[in-house]
Amino acid sequence: MKRVRSTKASRFGQWAGRQWRRYVRRESEAILWLKSKGLLDCLANVLAWSVRISILLLTVPLVVLVTAIIAIVYVPSKCLGNSIGEPKRWTVGDQDDHKKSVFYDPINYNDPDDPRFDD
């Protein structure tokens, strides 16, 4: 049997799943403790949902902020990285290939004056 290598994404998913199960276990223990102290069932559930919603409202802006920071840092660096260094090579021939042709005339290509041609 082949051993499958786990990726960082799968390890992160497993970690997040363990944390979520841990949270649910603690939440159910807290709800049972509140019920044993005499709190109504519906109030305990409302308290549990309010904790879940507050956690969600705290994490969503954090995720948006981290994404914005990554975009602000990564995208310009990628753009600048492509523009610095060697000039781009043309994929189809050279830009000035038409000047090497036997039938070249600068008028036909809107090129600057060429010393080989007198008008």
Amino acid, res. 24: V
CA 82 → CA 16, 69, 87, 96, 117, distances in Å? 36, 20, 9, 23, 38
pTM score over 0.75: no
Confidence of residue 3 (pLDDT cuts 50, 70, 90): confident
The pLDDT, as a whole number, for residue 78 is: 79
Q: How far apart are CA 119 and CA 94, in angstroms?
A: 27
Contact 106, 113 (CB under 8 A): yes
Tokens of 79: 């753009």
pLDDT of 4 above 80? no
pLDDT, tens digit, 9 for 90 and up, residues 9-39:
999 999 999 999 999 999 999 999 999 999 9
Q: How far apart are CA 44 and CA 32, in angstroms?
A: 9
Confidence of residue 86 (pLDDT cuts 50, 70, 90): low
